[in-house]
Structure 1
Amino acid sequence: MKWVSYDAGDGVRTGVIDGESVRGLAAGTTLEALLESGNLAEAGEDARRAPAEVRGLAEVTLLAPLRRPQSVRDGVGFLEHLRNCYRVLGRDGALDPAWSHSPAFYFANRDAIVGPYEDVPVAPGSAMFDLELEVGAVLGRGGRDLHPDRAEEHIAGYTLFNDWTARDHQLVDLAQGIGQAKGKDCAITLGPALVTVDELEPYRRDGRLAITLSATVNGEELTRGSLDQMDWTFGELLAYASRGTDLLPGAVIGSGTVPRGCLLEHVDTPALADFTGWLRPGDVVSLCGEGLGETRQTVTEGTGVLPLRPAGVVR
């Protein structure tokens, strides 16, 4: 099933896509609540058999399927993405052995979720705005200390995931050394649908989802890759993330960026600020995934920055 959240002009509803229509559930039903209750499959059958309403896809606005997930973690499943970024930043591209010991992740801003066709303002004050091509796995069943060979059984489905990034702010985050902050705070795209695991089985090869993924900027392809090339699998990401803590239904974890799936990896000048390819207002960014659909968003002007005083200076 392909679960969506949508608005047809009379409030946000939840439903499943059926061809060129959406079969909606009763008003007030949310995908977050269905995942939390464990009733996703049953609700899907209800939507197919006796929907509260049926709308044409052309009549509705698709929103992020999960508008406020239980939590959002973003992993680093593709190590080649990291090597490429290191080279641009003047490192030799070799990774510290720590990257092969466990899959890294950071906590992302679940309050910054945007839908697959919503405009995205440039992060305030950023001159180095970027996209990241990813897939998000959504938990349908919680767990703790999950086994890496069985953790994927807890996944309800997958969605496209764009981890919008202000690279200049990220450089400040890195200098401060306590983790991702304002560089990753402005927006995360989810959508257009939460596609259930069974729907994607035709793409499984040797136990992995071999989904072709691509990203374009203004119609020009930036990269193309496959989800089955992850160095750390979703099962391993979930197992590591669940060590000593509870993962709850509705939690989202990102795959990490498909190699060359962000502008940073395409920088061709020694000075990042001199790169002319950063996103600007009016640019159109699209992500596409086999079986997952396509996002299409326009970058818009960001707000100004209110200055802070230097630390230690009394006003």
Structure 2
Amino acid sequence: MRWVTYDAGAGPRTGILDGEEIFGLAPGVTLLSLLEGDAGTLGEAGDAARRKPEEVRATADVRLLSPLPRPPSIRDGLCFLDHLRGCYRALGRNEDLDSAWSQVPAFYFSNAAAVVGPYDDVPVAPGSRMFDLELEVGMVLGRGGRDLDPRDAESHIVGFTLFNDWTARDHQVRDLALGIGMGKSKDSAITLGPALVTVDELEPYRRDGRLALELSASVNGEEITHGSLDRTDWSLGELIAFVSRGVDLHPGDVIGSGTVPGGCLLEHVDTPDMADFDRWLKPGDVVSLAGRGLGETRQVVRPGVDVLPLSSGC
């Protein structure tokens, strides 16, 4: 099933996407409320929507929102280590990774309040002159859990969606210097959409136990990378299991795969000083992500708001 959240003018609704039509559920029913229900609720609701929808809408007549406009939490992993090597290479750094990267799958907490829809305009992060995209896949949990077994943790995923981790690279330099994790560099926007595609829909793409979903990103129609989800260094189950150590995960939690190698502009920097790179996103640029079986996003970058300076002038 392909679950969407949409607005036809009377507020958000949830429904099943079938071609160019949406079979809507009753007002007040959300994808999150279905995920938080008893086992089988999501499938039963989808079957009921197909048999007897509360309304039927053409996709052309609605605004598609993120399938989960406000997830309980968002964590973003880094399962493609070649993405990190590509960033190091672009910055003129040694590509050898610290041994810590091979000990656990890295992740950080992101801003669940910053989620935007697959076709929403995205403003540049305030004060940023080096705004970037990141091509990822979001895993949505259908079952919670704690201290999960890496061999079984992937079974807690109910579905997948495209995930764009918009990043202010100049702010990230400062975040890294502060040394306490990601801050304003990752705070402005996260795209989820266009749909939550349930695991069963994607089984035809499974190869050797992994989902071989072809993924690509483009800016103004020019493809910047093409990759596949099955090329991660850490499996999706390993990432979820590590995230669950000592904490409770909940239905609706979103965990990002990490960036597909080449799937951000930082990896394409070709100047000694990355501030001189002339391909950072600017107002008017059109950013698209695409995933086999997942659909496509298309978003226009807009000007950001002016920064109100602190006492330091920053």
The corresponding residue for 1:216 is 218
Find the aligned partners of 1:16 and 1:186 in 2 and give their Cα distance. Answer: 29
The corresponding residue for 2:25 is 25
Q: TM-score, normalised by structure 2?
A: 0.98
Partner letter of residue 33 of structure 2?
A
Give the match's secondary structure for 1:246.
coil
Please tell me whether the aligned partners of residues 128 and 168 of structure 2 are also in contact (alpha carbons under 8 angstroms).
yes
The correspondence of residues 183-194 of structure 1 with structure 2, limited to 5 A, is 183-194=185-196
Find the aligned partners of 2:92 and 2:160 in 1 and give their Cα distance. Answer: 35
Give the C-alpha shift of residue 40 in structure 1.
Answer: 1.1
Please tell me whether the aligned partners of residues 217 and 289 of structure 2 are also in contact (alpha carbons under 8 angstroms).
yes
Equivalent in 172, 175, 179 of residue 173 of structure 1: 175
Give the match's secondary structure for 1:247.
coil
Give the C-alpha shift of residue 46 in structure 1.
Answer: 1.2
Q: TM-score, normalised by structure 1?
A: 0.98
Find the aligned partners of 1:70 and 1:307 in 2 and give their Cα distance. Answer: 32
Give the C-alpha shift of residue 78 in structure 1.
Answer: 0.2
Is the aligned partner of 1:8 residue 2:8?
Answer: yes
Q: Which 5+ residue runs of structure 2 have no aligned equivalent?
A: none
Partner letter of residue 82 of structure 1?
L
Equivalent in 79, 90, 95 of residue 97 of structure 2: 95
Find the aligned partners of 1:259 and 1:194 in 2 and give their Cα distance. Answer: 23
Partner letter of residue 275 of structure 1?
F
Find the aligned partners of 2:83 and 2:261 in 1 and give their Cα distance. Answer: 4
Give the C-alpha shift of residue 88 in structure 1.
Answer: 2.3
Equivalent in 245, 254, 262 of residue 252 of structure 1: 254
CA RMSD of aligned residues (A): 0.9
The correspondence of residues 268-279 of structure 1 with structure 2, limited to 5 A, is 268-279=270-281
The corresponding residue for 2:288 is 286
Give the match's secondary structure for 2:203.
helix
Q: Deviations over 1:248-286 (max 9, x none)?
A: 000000000000000000000010100000000000000
The correspondence of residues 60-79 of structure 1 with structure 2, limited to 5 A, is 60-79=62-81
Give the C-alpha shift of residue 170 in structure 1.
Answer: 0.4
Q: Which 5+ residue runs of structure 1 have no aligned equivalent?
A: none
Find the aligned partners of 2:103 and 2:312 in 1 and give their Cα distance. Answer: 39
How many residues are aligned here?
311
Partner letter of residue 139 of structure 1?
L
Give the C-alpha shift of residue 10 in structure 1.
Answer: 1.6
Please tell me whether the aligned partners of residues 163 and 191 of structure 2 are also in contact (alpha carbons under 8 angstroms).
yes
The corresponding residue for 1:301 is 303
Partner letter of residue 88 of structure 1?
A
Q: Deviations over 1:29-87 (max 9, x none)?
A: 11111111142111111111111111112111110000000100000010000011112
Find the aligned partners of 1:279 and 1:234 in 2 and give their Cα distance. Answer: 30
Give the C-alpha shift of residue 90 in structure 1.
Answer: 2.9
Q: Which runs of 4+ in 1 moved over 4 A?
A: none
The corresponding residue for 2:59 is 57
Find the aligned partners of 1:183 and 1:14 in 2 and give their Cα distance. Answer: 31
Find the aligned partners of 1:42 and 1:152 in 2 and give their Cα distance. Answer: 22
